Homo-oligomer: A and B are copies of this chain.
Amino acid sequence: MRWNKLVQAKIRTLFNRIIITLLYEFDSLCGHVSEYILSQRLGGSCFQMTKLQAKNIVKHFDHNGNSVLALDGINLDVQEGDFLCIVGPSGCGKSTFLNIVAGLEKPDSGEILLNGKPISTPGPDRTMIFQEGALFPWLKVIDNVEFGLKMAGIPKEERRQISQRYLDMMQLTKFAESYTYQLSTGMKQRVAIARALAMDPEILLMDEPFAALDSQTRDLLLVELQLIWERTKKTIIFVTHNISESVILGNRVVVFKNRPSKIKKEIYIDYRRPRLMEDENLQKYYHQILDELKNEVIAQIKDENQ
């Protein structure tokens, strides 16, 4: 049984990789062939209900006496199976918002409802990939990946299987026994992604998870993440500063205004998956988001110079 699963997983990974490799090799074909193949393999989602609700979230921080208003009334409904991307200028409060959803930080006012019930503590149902390395330096790579599974009480053998799968996906099999200080920054980030994915949570909170990855690895993972999402119907909130990334991944992109942060615009992207970097049809979404952000940058410059 188990062996079977392992083989399945291996085959699936390999298959995906072959497809992606093909896509890269035959640039011109990619737009058409890949979309066709992949849209056949994966169906769209159908029935939706509200999974997560942010109600008028306000959060300020104290900076040596000055108060910095980071979030100024964020209202957001996230449907079950939603892939929500958040973009916004640096320092606008994206990470803060994610922390509040994760239950790690308390809002000054407002509340987060999960399945209609207010939450205030962290839990394994909402796994977070932190923007800044939150790997445990006292654990080996593989033990880091298995940490959440161990906490969930999953037996050792199964844990090992799961972690192996994700380490494989992240091309880190060779470094399973290394400690985190022995990894490059990008490798660390991949371990963090593997750790979160391995936990297979209902809700996945990702804070710029691909920032330190080289573009090739990132492209690979962009597809991989879409496949995972399609397959498991996870609810994902994905913070990024890369507009292309948000367009490729999200079925909804939320643009945050600069401090004090409010939601400036929501853009729905209803387009077949998996989407690829090269797809020209995504350009219009890209530009739509870019326009929104440009104004923000200008506002920020004004704000600084006034």
Binding site for B on A (CB under 8 A): 14, 17, 21, 24-25, 61, 63-64, 87-96, 131-133, 168, 171, 173-175, 177-178, 182-187, 190, 208, 211-218, 220, 241-243, 290, 293-294, 296-298, 300-301, 304-305
A64 / chain B contacts, CB cutoff of 8 Å:
177-178
A216 / chain B contacts, CB cutoff of 8 Å:
89, 293-294, 296-297
State how many angstroms separate the Cβ of A152 from the closest Cβ of chain B: 27
A171-B304, A184-B95 known; A297-B220 Cβ under 8 A: yes
The distance in angstroms between the C-alpha atoms of A117 and B286, with both chains bound, is 49
A24-B294, A168-B304, A301-B17 known; A241-B213 Cβ under 8 A: yes
Closest to A182 in B: B63
Closest to A169 in B: B304
A133 / chain B contacts, CB cutoff of 8 Å:
132
Are A212 and B211 neighbours in the complex by a CB distance under 8 Å? yes
A171-B304, A182-B63 known; A91-B211 Cβ under 8 A: no
State how many angstroms separate the Cβ of A19 from the closest Cβ of chain B: 12
Are A241 and B212 neighbours in the complex by a CB distance under 8 Å? yes
